[in-house]
């Protein structure tokens, strides 16, 4: 399919939360959602950068309805505070977008390895805290979109070494966190179906998009050579961030987008192009791993969901 931003239906009256909305895929998704009438709550670690991003969007969409909120996904206390500030505000879409990639090992405020903590555990916690805001049992449908990466295909969930304390490879840790994103999205969909909820959980990936995400690892290592090499690769191979945002926008807005699906660019090596439904890795469909990851994530974050465990009828 050749779905583009021209196909986004009217979003007037819809309220959307986008994590990491101040740059890259999150910023471009925010721009197009606002252009089509949605109110976008921009959940950003830095409100200063969030306000700068909001100004950028308003320069393009003068009547954009935006709200910048602090939400540090490396700190569960900040996530709880963000959810508390939203109160019982009704949400139509939650886009779990923010992330870090292939950085040197560090830990979040809660002692989690940063990539696993920010990319997966924070979004597990945030989704659980905002589940009732997404009115899963009302007449109008809500959606939870979780942004993964094609590199999830390299990932494995090592329950004995989730935090990579014994040995650490930045790309292995990133791949694990991105596989966790897909496992979470599918398990959430199964639980929503079991609860007969009017909500969809969808996984997406942006392909190879030119964003600041790729530069954080080289910057934290202080490697000018790697940063220059990444700049060259992005210039030659990557598609613009606006194109990378299309799978996210499709999952968030297209009436025909399916719950429990995985969408990504359908062009060269699934790295560029317009969105299509794709198959994720074989490991991502392992329901036993997904259930165990869910239980571990709940234990680590202290977040429980008011959803039943999946029954056999909704199993893949």
Per-residue pLDDT, averaged over 139-150, amounts to 97
Lowest mean pLDDT segment, chosen from 133-142, 213-222, 239-248: 213-222
* Exposure b/e, 156-195, CB count within 10 A at least 16 = b: ebeeebbbbeeeeebebbbbbbbbbbbbbbbbbbbbbbbb
Higher-confidence position of 229 and 202: 202
Q: 146 has which bridge partners?
A: 96, 203
**Cα 32 → chain centroid:** 17
Q: Which two tokens stand for residue 258?
A: 């399916």
Check pLDDT > 50 for residue 232: no
Residue pLDDT, tens place only, 256-270: 999 999 999 998 788
Q: 95 has which bridge partners?
A: 18, 145
Confidence of residue 224 (pLDDT cuts 50, 70, 90): low
186 is catalytic: no
The catalytic position among 174, 250, 262, 263 is 174
Residue pLDDT, tens place only, 20-56: 999 999 999 999 999 999 999 999 999 999 999 999 9
| pLDDT at residue 268 in the model | 79
Check pLDDT > 70 for residue 87: yes
Sole residue written with tokens 């969408």: 263
Distance separating alpha carbons of residues 144 and 203, to the nearest angstrom: 9
pTM listed for this prediction:
0.93
Sole residue written with tokens 């089509």: 36
| pLDDT at residue 206 in the model | 97
All structural domains of the chain, each given as residue ranges with its CATH number in brackets, are 10-301 (3.40.50.720)
| pLDDT at residue 207 in the model | 95
Q: Quick count: other Cβ atoms within 10 Å of Cβ 269?
A: 11
Residue pLDDT, tens place only, 145-173: 999 999 999 999 999 999 999 999 999 99
Q: 67 has which bridge partners?
A: 41
Check pLDDT > 60 for residue 131: yes
Distance separating alpha carbons of residues 213 and 26, to the nearest angstrom: 11
Q: Which two tokens stand for residue 162?
A: 């989730």
3-state secondary structure of 95: strand
Q: Quick count: other Cβ atoms within 10 Å of Cβ 141?
A: 16
The one-character DSSP state at 121 is I
Distance separating alpha carbons of residues 58 and 61, to the nearest angstrom: 5
Confidence of residue 312 (pLDDT cuts 50, 70, 90): confident
* Exposure b/e, 102-125, CB count within 10 A at least 16 = b: bbeeeebebebbbbbbbbbbbbbb
């Amino acid at each position: 399919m050749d779905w583009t931003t021209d196909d986004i239906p009217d979003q007037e009256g819809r309220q959307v939360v986008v994590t990491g909305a101040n740059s890259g895929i999150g910023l471009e998704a925010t721009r197009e959602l606002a252009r089509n009438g949605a109110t976008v709550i921009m959940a950003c670690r830095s409100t200063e950068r969030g306000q700068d991003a909001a100004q950028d969007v308003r320069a393009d969409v003068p009547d954009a309805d935006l709200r910048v909120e602090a939400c540090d996904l490396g700190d569960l206390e900040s996530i709880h505070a963000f959810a508390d500030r939203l109160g019982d505000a009704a949400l139509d879409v939650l886009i779990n977008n923010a992330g870090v990639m292939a950085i040197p090992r560090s830990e979040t405020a809660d002692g989690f390895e940063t990539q696993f903590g920010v990319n997966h555990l924070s979004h597990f916690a945030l989704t659980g805290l905002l589940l009732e805001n997404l009115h899963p049992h009302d007449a109008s449908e809500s959606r939870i979109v979780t942004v993964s990466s094609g590199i999830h295909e390299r990932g494995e969930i090592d329950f004995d070494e989730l935090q990579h304390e014994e040995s650490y490879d930045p790309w292995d840790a990133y791949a694990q966190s991105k596989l966790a994103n897909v496992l979470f999205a599918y398990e959430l969909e199964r639980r929503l179906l079991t609860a007969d909820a009017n909500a969809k959980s969808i996984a997406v990936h942006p392909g190879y998009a030119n964003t600041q995400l790729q530069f954080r690892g080289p910057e934290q290592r202080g490697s000018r050579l790697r940063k220059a090499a990444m700049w060259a690769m992005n210039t030659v191979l990557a598609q613009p961030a606006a194109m990378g945002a299309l799978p996210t926008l499709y999952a968030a807005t297209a009436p025909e987008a399916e719950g429990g699906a995985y969408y990504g660019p359908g062009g060269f090596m699934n790295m560029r192009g317009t969105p299509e439904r794709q198959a994720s890795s074989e490991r991502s469909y392992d329901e036993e791993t997904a259930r165990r990851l869910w239980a571990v994530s709940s234990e680590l974050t202290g977040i429980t969901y008011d959803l039943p465990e999946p029954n056999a009828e909704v199993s893949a």
